[in-house]
Amino acid sequence: MKEDWQKDAEEVLIRYCGTFSPLLIASAKGSYVYTEDGRAILDFTSGQMCSVFGHNHPDILAAMEQAGTRAIHLLSTMLSPELIALGKTLSGLLPEGLDRSIFLNTGSESNEVALRMAKLHTGGFEIVGFAGSWHGMTAGAQSHTYSLTRRGYGPAMPGSLMLPAPYAYRCPIQHCQGTCDNSCLEFGMKMVDQQSVGAYAAMIAEPVLSAAGIIELPPAYLKRLKELCDERGLLLIFDEAQTGLGRLGQNFAFEGYELTPDFLTLSKTLGGGLPLATAVCSAEIEESCYEKGFIYVTSHVSDPLCAAVGLATLEILTRDSMASRANEMGTYLKEQLTALMNLHECIGDVRGKGLLLGMEIVKERKSKQPDPELGYRISEECLRLGLSMNIVRVKGFGGVFRIAPPLTVTKDEIDLGVSILDQAICNCTQ
């Protein structure tokens, strides 16, 4: 039976995500969210993957309070000291070639900027993206998103081309078994070439395809991808909405590879829970686009309050060695999940890096037959027992738990979360 608040919600809100969570959340702090009746729910999703340093981090609250006494919002052409300081701080953390930034609100927006600039700079309009990718819900970003969000909305933007993702557990060309040898990339790029009209602009990629079920791009794969992009004049856009600010064990995921992308987009984690995103490119690309009349004016571009929060998140990242912490806690969590896999036949695979891990649910391990319905039941049971987990449905395959607790998570909290997950699996499979 629905609670009164659920009935009220359905009367006044557009249902934008299927079904809303059955819990009404009153507050959040650290690794927990709290219901109105006082229940503590351990959060293994960092909110919507944004509260990377825990909910309501005191430094972020302090930055908000201090910025609120100065300026919250300005005319879009006006700049603030906070914004310039944020640009300089971010540039100082990035290598040469990632020199100029624009600060916006969401990951969709940061990808829109990168896509627009890539088209303007190259003169092309074709964008290559991965199967299973998620780059946002706005028109351009959505056109190059190949998750479960395409049907029913009419044509995508012209020039949307797709590569198979290197999903080694379920090879997209039924070739490899567990270790990608780049065959899907070579074959996929040939197929893309056959579809192209000769107007390439960019390749957009997540270092770990999250909505696709935590598919990591191996170093050798990414090196070859960059070579293929360079051969075709495709600029490489790295969408680090979920992997930036330490989550994979480096400040930025691209640091784990021997390359610098042409564009870096950050969002989610950059604001630590507030809407803040950026697109970063080289001075050369920025100058080229400026000369060609680039414009991207939105109501909240360069807002000073969010810029102050961005400064706080970068300070936390470096001061508290959050990347190292993600490595340490991620290794521990992966060990616990692997041990859990040894106890439960329905766990087909555990994968991922740092504190962005995936756990795939199957009917039985040998055949890898997917069991998304069981995954959803486990997710619901986890929530009932006090653990918030997120399961992503991989189109044509099964369900994969996307496990991403805050980087401030403790070993005791990991132990508690794994214990609840174990109990939920037992309750759903007995």
Q: How far apart are CA 297 and CA 281, in angstroms?
A: 18
- 206 counts as catalytic: yes
Q: How far apart are CA 317 and CA 324, in angstroms?
A: 10
Same domain, 305 and 332: no
**Domain end among 256, 286, 319:** 319
CATH of the domain at 428: 3.90.1150.10
Please tell me the predicted confidence (pLDDT) of residue 398: 67
Question: Whole-model pTM?
Answer: 0.95
Within-domain flag for 47: no
- 6 counts as catalytic: no
Instruction: Please state, as a whole number, how many other Cβ atoms lie within 10 Å of the Cβ of residue 70.
Output: 12
Selecting among 82, 119, 134, 349, the annotated active-site residue is 134
Within-domain flag for 84: yes
Collapse the DSSP code of 237 into the 3-class scheme (helix H, G, I; strand E, B; otherwise coil) and give the result.
Answer: strand
What average pLDDT does the structure give for the chain? 95
Selecting among 239, 349, 360, 381, the annotated active-site residue is 239
Same domain, 91 and 199: yes
Same domain, 75 and 142: yes
Same domain, 220 and 101: yes
- 268 counts as catalytic: yes
pLDDT tens digits, residue range 107-154? Answer: 999 999 999 999 999 999 999 999 999 999 999 999 999 988 888 999
Selecting among 43, 112, 242, 349, the annotated active-site residue is 242
**Domain end among 269, 304, 319:** 319
Same domain, 101 and 243: yes
Residues contacting residue 133 through CB under 8 Å, at least 6 positions apart: 144, 145, 146, 147, 165, 204, 205, 206, 209, 211, 212
Within-domain flag for 13: no
CA 30 to each of CA 51, 159, 383: distance values in angstroms, whole numbers, following the listed order: 9, 43, 18
Pairing outcome for strands 32-35 and 40-43: antiparallel
Selecting among 109, 126, 206, 240, the annotated active-site residue is 206
Residue with tokens 């037959």: 369
Structural domain range at position 420: 321-360+406-430
Within-domain flag for 253: yes
Same domain, 306 and 342: no
CATH of the domain at 134: 3.40.640.10
Same domain, 94 and 110: yes
Same domain, 211 and 107: yes
- 315 counts as catalytic: no
Same domain, 285 and 417: no
Per-residue tokens: 19: 């079904």
Nearest to residue 364, comparing CAs of 398, 395, 325, 313? 398
- 5 counts as catalytic: no
How many residues appear in the chain? 430
Same domain, 137 and 184: yes
Residue with tokens 């329905």: 346
Selecting among 100, 226, 351, 402, the annotated active-site residue is 402
Within-domain flag for 396: no
Within-domain flag for 372: no
Residues of the chain with pLDDT under 70: 394-398
Within-domain flag for 32: no
Selecting among 247, 268, 351, 377, the annotated active-site residue is 268
How many distinct helices (H) and strands (E) make up the chain?
Answer: 13, 17
Within-domain flag for 164: yes
Same domain, 231 and 281: yes
Number of independent structural domains in the chain: 2
- Contact between residue 30 and residue 60 where contact means Cβ atoms under 8 Å apart: no
Q: How far apart are CA 110 and CA 97, in angstroms?
A: 17
DSSP state of 1: -
Collapse the DSSP code of 360 into the 3-class scheme (helix H, G, I; strand E, B; otherwise coil) and give the result.
Answer: strand
**Domain end among 268, 300, 319:** 319
Same domain, 420 and 310: no
Instruction: Please state, as a whole number, how many other Cβ atoms lie within 10 Å of the Cβ of residue 306.
Output: 27
